[in-house]
């Protein structure tokens, strides 16, 4: 079987936090931390960069607003130009509510699909799900997984680093 990587178990939030700092400082790049609840500051301890998701949401919201205004302009000026009560063909003030709502709709869709893309979802099966220990990741244990695709990965040296970080158990996971 192909080796997926190593899974290290920790019992406390401070233990996994400091272990993440040590793994980051050791230069590993293809790894993750798994906790049953959000741990404040863990993303900084892991050295994660800011997400690109806010930019996706902004672009999608502006795209939706622009398309809504463009469609309303086209309908009222080009396709069906009707003079109503002496008002101009394009009275933008009347189009603001629809423009706002379509912008919000596109931004929400951008948030959902952007999140799915950046998190590489849906993934129906993950090699870590084969580990009996990993079942406690949603209950009361904290884990760090380092994948074998990491350039610095070496099974024995990586396992020794994780033990030195305070892991109560280090397990090899097969893909």
pLDDT tens digits, residue range 64-109? 999 999 999 999 999 999 888 888 889 899 999 999 999 999 999 9
Provide the pLDDT for residue 72: 96
Q: Is the confidence at residue 175, as pLDDT, over 90?
A: no
Q: How far apart are CA 56 and CA 129, in angstroms?
A: 31
Where residue 164 falls among pLDDT bands split at 50, 70, 90? very high
Q: What is the 3-state secondary structure (H, E, C) of the chain?
A: CCEEEEEEEECCHHHHHHHHHHHHHCCCCCEEEECCCCCCCHHHHHCCCCCCHHHHHHHHHHHHHHHHHHHHHHHHHHHCCCCCCCCCCCCHHHHHHHHHHHHHHHHHHHHHHHHHHHCCCCCCCCHHHHCCHHHHHHCCCEEEEEECCCCCCCHHHHHHHHHHCCCCEEEEEEC
Q: What is the pLDDT of residues 115-151, one digit of tens each?
A: 999 998 998 889 999 999 999 999 999 999 999 999 9
Q: Is the confidence at residue 1, as pLDDT, over 80?
A: no
Q: How far apart are CA 135 and CA 141, in angstroms?
A: 9
Provide the pLDDT for residue 33: 97
Average pLDDT over residues 38-61: 96
């Amino acid at each position: 079987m192909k080796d997926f990587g190593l899974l290290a178990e920790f019992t406390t939030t401070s233990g996994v936090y400091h272990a993440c700092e040590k793994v980051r400082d050791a230069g590993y790049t293809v790894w993750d931390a798994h906790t049953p609840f959000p741990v404040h500051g863990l993303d900084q301890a892991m050295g994660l960069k800011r997400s690109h998701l806010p930019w996706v949401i902004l672009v999608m919201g502006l795209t939706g607003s622009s398309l809504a205004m463009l469609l309303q302009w086209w309908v009222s000026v080009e396709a069906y130009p009707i003079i109503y009560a002496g008002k101009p063909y394009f009275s933008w003030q009347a189009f603001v509510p629809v423009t706002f709502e379509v912008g919000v709709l596109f931004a929400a869709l951008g948030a959902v699909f952007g999140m799915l893309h950046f998190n590489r979802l849906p993934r129906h099966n993950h090699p870590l799900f084969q580990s009996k220990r990993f079942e406690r990741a949603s209950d009361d244990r904290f884990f760090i997984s380092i994948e074998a695709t990491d350039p610095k990965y070496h099974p024995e040296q990586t396992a020794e680093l994780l033990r030195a970080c305070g892991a109560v158990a280090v397990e090899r996971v097969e893909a």
